[in-house]
């Protein structure tokens, strides 16, 4: 019985969320993207090998970029460079993120169609 309790207690620790991730998730729900990213940037700097923090930071940047792209009040010359930077951050953290890849390609294609340089 003691062994079972020990195993259950040990396993629950493995699934405990990083407090910064929990805090950032609450901020994202409140659409406070910059604040969530700031919390996760700090956590990522402290624990760069944490898969949980890295994924949360990529997700927060993706949510931020998607929010900028969906904002009808922002003109294209404001939304595209900002979203592009955020999508690139997503790929820096998660090289397999297809949504970020697709959105980067779409924004870059728009700039190419207009004959304008792609923002860095």
Each residue of 19-42: pLDDT tens digit? 999 999 999 999 999 999 999 999
| CA 55 – CA 67 distance, rounded (Å) | 18
Largest CA distance in the chain: 71
- Specify the residue for token string 């195993």: 7
Pick from 97, 6, 41: nearest CA to 33: 41
| CA 20 – CA 42 distance, rounded (Å) | 9
- pTM (whole model) above 0.95: no
Domains in the chain, ordered, with CATH? 19-114 (1.25.40.10)
Each residue of 44-96: pLDDT tens digit? 999 999 999 999 999 999 999 999 999 999 999 999 999 999 999 999 999 99
């Amino acid at each position: 019985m003691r062994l079972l309790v020990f195993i259950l207690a040990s396993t629950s620790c493995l699934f405990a969320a990083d407090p910064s991730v929990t805090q950032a998730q609450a901020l994202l729900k409140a659409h406070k993207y910059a604040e969530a990213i700031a919390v996760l940037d700090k956590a990522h700097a402290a624990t760069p090998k944490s898969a949980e923090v890295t994924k949360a930071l990529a997700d927060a940047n993706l949510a931020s970029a998607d929010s900028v792209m969906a904002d009808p009040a922002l003109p294209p010359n404001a939304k595209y460079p900002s979203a592009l930077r955020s999508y690139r951050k997503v790929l820096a953290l998660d090289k397999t993120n297809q949504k970020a890849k697709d959105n980067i390609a779409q924004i870059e294609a728009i700039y190419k169609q207009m004959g304008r340089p792609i923002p860095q």
